[in-house]
Structure 1
Amino acid sequence: MENQPRSTAPPVEVWGGIECTINRVGDRYIDQFDSSGHYLRLDDLDRFAEIGLRTLRYPILWERHLPSHQQPDWRFADERLARLRQLGIRPIVGLVHHGSGPRHTQLDDPGFADGLAHYARLVAERFPWVEAYTPVNEPLTTARFSGLYGLWYPHHRSNAAFARMLINQCRATVLAMAEIRKVQPRAQLVQTEDLGQCHSTFLLAYQADFENERRWLTFDILGGLLNRTHPLWKHLRELGIAESELVFFLENPCPPDLIGINHYLTSERYLDERLERYPGYAHGGNHYHTYVDIEAIRVPEAEPVGPYGLLKQTWERYRRPMAVTEVHLGCTREEQLRWFGQVWKAANRLKSEGADIRAVTAWALLGSYDWDSLLTHERLHYEPGVFDLRAERPRPTALAHLIRGIARKGTPAHPTLEEPGWWQRQTRWTVPRASEVGILKVVKRIPSRPLVIVGANGTLGRAFARICAQRGLFYHLLNRQEMDITNPSQVQRVINQLNPWAVINAAGYERVAQAGRD
């Protein structure tokens, strides 16, 4: 049988997004744009255009532009959206991003939905040419953090509070899009939500099954799919959601024009009742069992589905246009490249199989602050993104060069992409292996072009080798006998033999500080 022809469809697009959260912890608002300085740099938008971005998730947030019942302040939005229009960048405008609205409202306020709808109408009237909106980013995730875990305002910790906040945000989305479409009938809803999967021991399979059903609620509710036969209809009713409130979504469905999947390495979880294997801070539970909820990627027994599997689940469930709307990893530049490359590959594989998947979004273009504490502590802990703000002006990182290459050529290209990420290596495990059953297969390294380090006998050469090992970089550490940098013919012979993608000359340096000065 002849091989089937490969798909000739163009690759998915690359979009961009800026970490833009304005969330409330107690009486304090945390604004990512204040931390990053983006409010003061109009030319950030030019930087995004220079790396080839033509679609950008961009915030015009309620808390910033209409913090009280007075007139909105459009100065920032006017300047930024005008510049995006000049640059030919299509904005997907966000109105609430992990926030609870201005001080006069909150997520469990009966007036939250009407308040956001009013603000959405003002935005649409000010910028009638905008055709893509995300009224509320990640409603379910925000409801979990604010209503179930108590991390964000109003800091409740109950299933009932979670349900109320989720319903309020979904109703706000429906009403906001209705108001926007009165001004711009072509306006599209780009609905984002974090998506993972819950894994567990046999004992806790019931809890994992529940969470794996709950993860779809944002899209099910907005799409008018949560009816009386839905597995969670009764659950929401028992939590105090009136039948009329659920019927509202059946009578006013607002299915996303594009489903936005936000996925992180921590999105897949593992539930385990064997508390002795884990540190105390990870202990939790439900009314029936005490257990640990931890990143699945850290547990030997877990078998994470990964980006391709989760995107495929989404496509098979909804069959609606979709995109990956957040891709970010707070780690070394090599691991950031590998993670973006893996998600990019997964999206294009799914597209080649017939799924309508439009784009992969480089999130946190300017990096992010304090997400290591889930924004509960304002320490300005910084994770670089596509640009690094720890220089005099935003500096393009390796990700910026990768994205520029994709925008121009349609494929990612960098030697480090051929190496497995830390999440595919055994060093990722932080708990002991309980048995050989169910162990996730470790991705084996495919022989790739190495990095050559000259100076095996020196302090600097050995330091480079240690760094390469930590970062998963395939390398050869050569001594003078193996490669004498003063012997051009030997140098050429070694290069021809090993075909390195880069050569680092660390020969002759015993003092690392001296190498830095040289």
Structure 2
Amino acid sequence: MTEQTGPAWYDDGRMHFGLGIEDTFVPQERPGERAVDEYELTDHYELVEADLALAASVGAEFLRWGVPWHRVNPAPGQWDWTWLDRAMAAFGETGIRPVVDLLHYGTPLWLEREFAHPDYPERAAEYAVAVAERYADVATDYTPVNEPMIHALFSGEYSYWPPYLSGRSGLVQISSALARGFVLSQRGIAEVLGEAATFVHVEATMRYAGDTASPEHRENAERLRHQAFLVEDLVTGHVGQAHPLRRMLGENGVSDDLLEWFASNAVQPDVMGVNYYPRHSTELFEAGVHHGGGFADPRPTLDDGTAGLVASLRDYAERYGAPVMLTETCVTDSPEVRIDWLDRSVAALAQARAEGLPLVGYTWWPLFDMYEWTYRHSTAPRADHRLSMGLFDLVENPAGPLLRRRNPVADRFREHALAAASASPSPLAALGGPTSPKD
């Protein structure tokens, strides 16, 4: 068992700069819907060593990076570590710290009904423990479930991804299943790694603005504000009888016994990760206009810039009593616009840290471009779905795998990362211990 000595890496008083590689996996297919595997679409499977070297070349200290569960666990009880061994060896060689996403939407093809399968929580934990045991010498930082409320919405309410449930009942079913798998996974990893384990919980920012107080929107907006934290509230044991969503949960199958199980087995984040995209993270309610939300009936969004970013991080820090990390951010635009957001967001977070926000990391997402999820419902080539987001552009190459072309965002990111790495550590003002979710 690996043991940790001294302060945790994120607790040294510095701001740590990292990157991510988009790792959405939805391997299930059906008529009109093709599989999405971002590692395959971006040729990361083939170029993993070179990609990690790119991250090192721009000064990244850590990389948020996911394991393709559907590949390493191709059948019940069977494991294929060939590619993952290669990837973890590359992490060891580059010295970049992996912050491992265990679940970034995809389950194995053999797990029927995916998150709705009655054995899902135990299967997820089995997989988590297997990864932690095999790579204890390389990987000790884990995100059990990336953006669990996005999982719950897309798979449980919007019927957009497998298992295609819908409505409040679907949302609650998938949320509670994900939360049980989350708890079992974290507890299993902690048994393997002991004090060396660090858990970075990661959730997507879901903010609501505009005409939220009008009679036609008030109840829905209030529910959505609480719902944004639902899975994290469950896994941290903060859903009791007084929780604002207790009635909704009870009406959709969550018993008192299950809530007691969550309370008795609660797990906490060492770092609370917050994903924030200025153009997408704040939904706008409009007077007299009804939107269901989600891909089928989206609400308009409000670009709330750095104010929304800092407010989101403060909300999570106060709610869960843990240091926070910006675990995803970017804008999809020209290099000049991306650099502007990078500079403004870094400056805003430096100011927030100076004012006492316990912020330990900044993550630009992604290292190189990704392909939009709409690829799944399209017949167009991948090039038609490329999103210009990264430090490196993806360039089609008829002679082989996609090329990675460095753009000016990489240079600016490197400047920020190196400046942070050379800065003198400074203590952060603590916000106190864990708190109960706000009403």
TM class by shorter-chain length?
0.7 to 0.9
Structure 1: stretches of 5+ with no match in the other structure: 1-8, 276-282, 412-518
CA distance in 1, matches of 2:316, 2:189: 27
SS of residue in 2 equivalent to 1:19: coil
Which residue in 1 is equivalent to 2:288?
274
Q: Distance in 1 between matches of 2:203 and 2:192?
A: 26
Pairing of 1:346-385 with structure 2 (within 5 A): 346-371=348-373, 373=374, 375-377=376-378, 379=380, 380=382, 381-384=385-388, 385=390
Distance 1:351 1:61 in 2: 35
Contact 2:115 2:178 in 1 (8 A): yes
Q: Is the 8 A contact 1:108 1:161 kept in 2?
A: no
Distance 1:318 1:350, change over 3 A: farther
Does structure 1 residue 402 correspond to structure 2 residue 404?
Answer: no
Q: 1:48 aligns with which of 37, 40, 55?
A: 55
Mapped to 2, the partners of 1:70 and 1:250 lie a distance apart of: 30
Structural mapping, 1:205-284, within 5 Å: 205-264=218-277, 265-275=279-289, 284=291
Scaled by the length of structure 2, the TM-score of the pair is 0.83
- Post-superposition offset of 1:375: 4.8
Letter in 2 for 1:258: V
CA positional deviation for 1:305: 5.1
Instruction: Provide the TM-score with structure 1 as the length reference.
Output: 0.71
Determine whether 1:155 maps to 2:164: yes
Between 148-157 and 402-411, report the one with greater CA deviation: 402-411
3-state secondary structure, aligned to 2:145: strand
Shift of 1:114: 0.3
The residue identity in structure 2 corresponding to 1:157 is S
Structure 2 CA distance, aligned partners of 1:128 and 1:292?
42
Query: 8 Å contact 1:151–1:376 — kept in the other structure?
Result: no
CA contact 1:65–1:73 (8 Å) conserved in 2 = yes
Give yes or no for contact 2:74–2:80 (8 Å, CA) kept in 1: no
By relative contact order (CA 8 Å, sep 6+), the higher-ranking structure is 2
Q: Give a deviation string over 1:187-234, Cα, whole Å, max 9, x none.
A: 122111101311242231222121111111122112111111111122
**1:180 is aligned to 2:185:** no
The CA deviation at 1:173 is 1.1
What do the CA deviations read for 1:390-444 (whole angstroms, capped 9, x no partner)? 1653111122111111122239xxxxxxxxxxxxxxxxxxxxxxxxxxxxxxxxx
Q: 1:190 aligns with which of 190, 197, 200?
A: 200
Distance in structure 2 (CA, Å) of the matches to 1:11 and 1:335: 27
Structure 1's 213 and 30: CA in aligned 2 closer, same or farther, altered over 3 A? same
Change in Cα spacing, 1:51 to 1:12, as seen in structure 2 (3 Å) is same
Deviation string 1:83-137 (CA, Å, 9 cap, x unpaired) is 1112111111111102244332311111111001111111112111221111211
- More divergent stretch after superposition (165-174 vs 344-353): 344-353
Structure 1 distance, partners of 2:199, 2:179, is 12
Mapped to 2, the partners of 1:386 and 1:230 lie a distance apart of 42
Q: Summarize deviations over 1:308-345 as a string: whole Å, max 9, x none.
A: 12112222222211101111221111121122223322
Residues 152 and 376 of structure 1 are in contact (CA less than 8 Å); yes or no, is this contact kept in structure 2?
Answer: no
Aligned-pair distance for 1:70?
4.8
Give distance in 2, aligned partners of 1:261 and 1:374. Answer: 26
Alignment of 1:10-159 (within 5 A): 12-24=15-27, 26-27=29-30, 28-41=34-47, 42-105=49-112, 106-129=114-137, 130-159=139-168
Determine helix, strand or coil for the equivalent of 2:17: strand
Q: Distance between the aligned counterparts of 1:344 and 1:310, measured in 2?
A: 15
Where structure 2 has 5 or more consecutive residues not aligned to the other structure, the ranges are 1-11, 398-402, 422-439
1:285 to 1:46, Cα distance in 2 relative to 1, 3 A: closer
SS of structure 2 residue aligned to 1:199 = strand
Q: Which moved more, 1:343-352 or 1:246-255?
A: 343-352
Q: Deviation at 1:24? A: 4.5
The one-letter code matched in structure 2 to 1:399 is V
Question: CA offsets, 1:134-182, max 9 Å, x none?
Answer: 1211111111011111111112221111111111111111111122122
Q: 1:118 to 1:382 in 2, by over 3 A?
A: same
In structure 2, do the counterparts of structure 1 residues 40 and 304 end up closer, same or farther at CA, with 3 Å as the change threshold?
A: closer
After superposition, the Cα gap between the structure-2 partners of 1:61 and 1:378, relative to the gap in structure 1 and judged at 3 Å, is farther
8 Å Cα contact 2:208/2:225 also seen in 1: yes
How many correspondences in the alignment? 387
Q: Which AA in structure 1 matches 2:321?
A: R
Q: Is the CA contact 1:93–1:134 (under 8 Å) kept in the aligned structure 2?
A: yes
User: RMSD between aligned alpha carbons?
Assistant: 2.3
Give 1:387-398 correspondences, 5 Å limit.
387-390=392-395, 393-398=403-408
Residues 95 and 135, structure 1, Cα contact 8 Å, conserved in 2 = yes
SS of equivalent residue, structure 2 residue 328: strand
In the superposition, relative to structure 1, how do residues 397 and 220 fare at CA in structure 2: closer, same or farther (>3 Å)? same
State the partner residue of 1:344. Answer: 346
Three-state SS of the structure 1 residue aligned to 2:360 is strand
* Amino acid in the other structure paired with 1:234: R
Select between 400-409 and 20-29 the one with higher mean Cα deviation: 20-29
Structure 2 match to 1:4: none
Name which one, 1 or 2, has greater alpha-carbon Rg: 1
**Structure 1 residues 337 and 70, CA gap change in structure 2 (3 angstroms):** same
Partners of 1:374 and 1:142 lie apart in 2 by 18
Q: CA 1:374 to 1:219, structure 2 compared with 1: closer, same or farther past 3 Å?
A: farther
Equivalent residues of 1:62, 1:102 under 8 A apart:
no
- 1:344 and 1:376 mapped to 2: Cα distance? 36
Q: Following TM superposition, by how much is the alpha carbon of 1:26 offset from its aligned partner in structure 2, in angstroms?
A: 4.3
Q: CA deviation at 1:292?
A: 6.7
Identity %: 28
Distance in 2, matches of 1:78 and 1:378, equals: 33
